[in-house]
Amino acid sequence: MVCTISPPGYTSGMKTAVSLPDEVFASAETLAKRLKLTRSELYSRALAEFLARHSPDEITDSWNSVVGDIGQDEPVNAGSARAVFEQVEW
């Protein structure tokens, strides 16, 4: 059995470098401090949320959940979404 102990402050997982505009970096630093998160944790949570919001399956599942909550039995699909959009004045 191999047992490893990570030094304090060490984050396990993939490490990467990204470039951010100064304003975004400063806002992220402020938010991380306010939420009492490490920079890595803040960026990880933010990216996970972004990915979830932009995953087509996640979006469909979310819509289906809402439809279920309001009492509709039919899952959201292209046809039902189109029917709703056709009824809306643009």
- For the entire predicted model, the pTM comes to 0.52
Q: What is the pLDDT of residue 60?
A: 74
- At residue 38, does pLDDT exceed 70? yes
What's the alpha-carbon Rg for the chain, to the nearest Å?
A: 21
The residues, any chain, with a CB within 8 Å of residue 9's CB and separated by 6 or more, are 38
Amino acid code (one letter) for 16: T
Domain layout of the chain by residue ranges:
19-54, 56-90
Residue 78 contacts residue 84 (beta carbons within 8 Å): no
The arithmetic mean of pLDDT across residues 19-39, rounded, is: 96
Instruction: Specify the higher pLDDT residue, 51 or 24.
Output: 24
Q: What is the pLDDT of residue 14?
A: 84
The residues, any chain, with a CB within 8 Å of residue 16's CB and separated by 6 or more, are none
